[in-house]
Structure 1
Amino acid sequence: MTHDTPVLRVAGRPVGRYVTRPELPARLSPRPCLHPVTTLAGTAVTELGPADHAHHLGVGVAVPDVEGHNFWGGRTFVRDRGPTELDNHGAQRHTGFQLLDPDGFVEELRWVADGSELLRERRTVAATGLDHRAWALDLTFSLTNVTGGPLSLGSPATNGRPGAAYGGFFWRARKEPRAPEVFTADREGETEVHGGRADWVALAGAGWTLVFAGATEETRRDPWFVRAAEYPGVGSSLASAARLPVPAGGTVVRRVVTVVADGRLDRAEAAALVRGAVGR
C-alpha cells in the first residue's frame, strides 16, 4: 500500500485500488477514484476512461454543475444549445488521509475551479466482508460550501435535459457484450428503474452482481440514475427536479453502500445482503 494508491482488502484479499492523484487532462475533471474494484473471486466490476465515456472514472463522486463549474468531465449541457465543450472544468484535489487502514480510509479533498476552492469534501470508504461470495463498499461523502456565499448543485436535467439528473455518487461498471440486467425489489428493467426511488438497485452482469443502497434518509430520497443498454452505470441524483442549494458553510452528506457479489443474485438474495451491509 502507498499513500497515493492505497489498496482495499477484505480478509487480506485485495478488492479495490484507490487512485488519489490521477494524471488526466482538464476536460475529464480530474478526481480521485476507485479502480479496479473486483469481486472476491477477482472479477473486475469497474472501468476507467472507457472509449464510450472517457470521463467515467471507476467509482467516485462527481457533479456536472457546481455553480456553473463542471466536476463530472466531458461536455456541459447548456440549455437551448445541448452538450457543449466549455472551458469550465474543476478538479478534486486530494489533500490527505485522516485514517488509512487496509479495509478503508477517511480522506479530505478540495474541489477547485478557476483557482478558487468551492467545496471541501470529507470522504469515508470502508470494505466489509459479508459472506463467501460478497463484500460491501461503504462510501460516505460530505460536501461543505467554503466560498462564503451561496452555491447550488445542478445537473443536465435541471439545465433542460430530461432523464439526465446524474451527479453525486457514480459507479461505472464493466461493459460486456450483453447489457446487464437491472432490477429492484418490485421493478425490472432500465426504463422502469431509472429516475425512480428504491431502497436498492441491482445491476447483474455475466458472473457478478452489484446492489446499490442508500444508507440514510436523505440518500434514499435521491432518485437513481441508471444506464444499462448504452453503457453499465449506476449513480445518485443530487439535483433531479431542481438545483440543490448549499448555503455558505452548509454541508451536503450522502452515503451509498454497494454489495459486490460473485454470481447472479435473485431479489431475495440481494435484499438479504443489503440488509446485512447497511445494518437495517
Structure 2
Amino acid sequence: MNNSTALSWRDDNRSVTISLGDLEIATYTYDATDEQRESPRPFFHPLRTTAGEIVSIYRPWDHVWHKGIAWSLPHFGDDNFWGGPSYRRGQDYKWLPNNGSMRHERVVDAGLDGGTFRFTHALSWWTEDGKKVVDEIRGIRIIPGQDGNSWTLVFETDMTNVSGRDIQIGSPTTEGRENAGYGGLFWRGPREFAGGRIAGPGGATGEALRGTRGPWLAFVGQHDDSCRFSTVLIADDAANAQHPPEWFARSEPFACFGPAPFFSEEVTFADGATMVNRYAVVIADGDSNQDRLVNLAADAADVLRHQPVKATA
C-alpha cells in the first residue's frame, strides 16, 4: 500500500482498491473470472461516495452480466463483449456461442501521482471460439474533489483491431430494436436507485433523455436505510469521435446509464486502426439540483482537458 497522499491503494494481483483516508471508495477488478456467458471483462465495484454510500451493483439477478461500471460492447461484429443473450433482427434475444472475454495481460503502471491514483494495464480481447480481435491499453485515474464531497474517475480505452478484418460496432438498435442502443461505458446502480432522477444539460430530465445527444448525463438516487441521496455523472471527452454521444438511460425497473457511441449508427473499426474513447465519471455525495450538475459537469470537462490518464505500454 502507498500512503504518500490522502489517497492510498492496494493490489491483490487481480484487483486494485483505492481508499480516500480510511474509506475504500473504488475497487477495479482488472482480471475478471466471471462465467463465459457473462463476457468476463474488467469492472468497477463497489463504488462509494465520500459519505460511504455504495452506488454500484455486481451481478444483479435480472442481468447477471451487469458489473458496476464496465466497458462493454454487445454488437462487436457478430461477437458479444457485453454478456448475456444477443439481439438479432426479427428473432429477439438469443443465447449464442459468441460471448467474448477481455483478458488482462499485464500491469503497465500503477501508483500515486500529484494527489491522484493512476493505473494502466494491457488487455487482449478474445472471441468465444478463441480468436484474438483486439489489443487494448486501458488507463484510469482517480482524483479527489476539491469540495470534499465528490471524486472523479477518468477512464480511457485505446483499442487496436488485430483481427485481420474490419469490424462493425453497433447496438441492439442498429440491429432493429428501437431505442435500445446501449453499449460503451455502462453504469448499473443499486436496487434502491430504481425510480431515481435522470438529468441532462438544459434542465431536461427523465427517460426521454434516452437516445438524445449531450456532453454529459447524470443520475440522482436515494438510498435505503440512510435515506441519503447520491449523484453519478458521466462526461464525454470532446475529443471522442462520436462526441457528443447519444445516451442510454433507464430509471425503471432499474437504474442504469452510459454514453452509447454506437447507439443508432454502426461504426467501422478498420483492421489495424486504434479507437480511443475517454470519459470522466463523477461520484458525488448528496442530491444535485441543476446548478450543481452544471458545475460538476464543468469540473469533469476540465479534468478531461488537463488530466493525463495512461502510461505508454
So what's the TM-score if we normalise by structure 1?
0.95
Residue 30 of structure 2: aligned partner? 20
Alignment-derived partner of residue 120 in structure 1: 135
Once the two structures are TM-superposed, the CA of residue 178 in structure 1 deviates from its matched residue by 4.6
1:167-226, CA deviations, whole angstroms, 9 ceiling, x for partnerless residues? Answer: 111111112165110111224333321111112211000110011110223253320111
The runs of 5 or more residues in structure 2 that have no matched partner are: 1-9, 223-228, 306-313
Residues 118-137 of structure 1 deviation map (CA, whole Å, 9 limit, x = unaligned): 11111111111112111111
CA positional deviation for 1:21: 2.5
CA–CA distance in structure 2, aligned partners of residues 274 and 9 of structure 1? 23
Which letter does structure 1 place at the counterpart of 2:269?
V
Aligned to 1:136: 152
Letter in 1 for 2:244: R
Aligned residues: 280
The answer for the alignment partner of 1:276 in structure 2 is 299
1:100 to 106, 110, 114: 110
The answer (yes or no) to whether the contact 1:196–1:224 under 8 Å persists in 2 is yes
Structure 1 equivalent of residue 5 of structure 2: none
Specify the code of the residue in structure 2 equivalent to 1:263. Answer: G
CA distance in 2, matches of 1:12, 1:177: 26
Identity level (%): 28
8 Å Cα contact 2:106/2:123 also seen in 1:
yes
Larger displacement relative to structure 2 (31-40 or 1-10)? 1-10
The change in CA–CA distance for 1:54 and 1:94 in structure 2 (over 3 A counts) is: same
- For residue 6 of structure 1, give the secondary structure of its aligned residue in structure 2: strand
Q: Specify the code of the residue in structure 1 equivalent to 2:122.
A: E
Q: Give the deviation of 1:148 after TM superposition.
A: 2.2
The answer for the alignment partner of 2:217 in structure 1 is 201
Instruction: State the Cα distance separating 1:239 from its structure 2 match.
Output: 1.5
User: Which amino acid counterpart does residue 217 of structure 2 have in structure 1?
Assistant: V
How far off is 1:10 after superposition? 3.8
Counterparts of 1:72-221 in structure 2, within 5 Å, are 72-101=82-111, 103-113=117-127, 114-130=129-145, 131-176=147-192, 178-206=194-222, 207-218=229-240, 220-221=243-244
CA distance in 2, matches of 1:96, 1:185: 39
Secondary structure of 2:202's aligned partner: coil
Looking at structure 2, the residues matched to 97 and 273 of structure 1 have their Cα atoms a distance apart, in angstroms, of 31
Q: Secondary structure at the match of 1:234?
A: strand
Does 2:295 correspond to 1:256?
no
Change (3 A) 1:120 1:148: same
Residue 144 of structure 1 and its aligned partner are, at CA, apart by: 1.1
Tell me the alpha carbon deviations over residues 39-82 of structure 1, each in whole angstroms, 9 at most, x when there is no partner. 01111101000012111011110000111011101110011100
CA gap 1:276/1:221 in 2 versus in 1, 3 angstroms: closer
Aligned to 2:56: 46
* Pair 1:38–1:247, CA change in 2 (3 A): same
- How far the C-alpha of 1:163 sits from its partner, in A, is 0.7
Contact (CA 8 Å) 1:187, 1:193: kept in 2 or not? no
Per the alignment, in what secondary structure is the counterpart of residue 186 of structure 1? Answer: helix
User: What letter is aligned with 2:189?
Assistant: A
1:278 is displaced (CA, Å) by 2.4
C-alpha distance in 2 between matches for 1:159 and 1:187: 31
Q: Return the alpha-carbon distance in structure 1 between the equivalents of residues 270 and 70 of structure 2.
A: 24
CA drift at 1:13? 4.1
When the two chains are superposed, the root-mean-square deviation of aligned CA atoms in Å is: 1.6
Shifted more, 110-119 versus 15-24: the winner is 15-24
> Tell me, what secondary structure is at the counterpart of 1:14?
strand
Between the aligned partners of 1:175 and 1:220, the Cα distance in structure 2 is 30
1:1-40 per-residue CA deviation (whole Å, 9 max, x = no partner) reads 2231111234564210111222221111111111101101
Runs of 5+ in structure 1 lacking a partner? none
Q: Is the 8 A contact 2:194 2:255 kept in 1?
A: no
Contact conserved, 2:41 with 2:101, CA < 8 A, in 1? yes
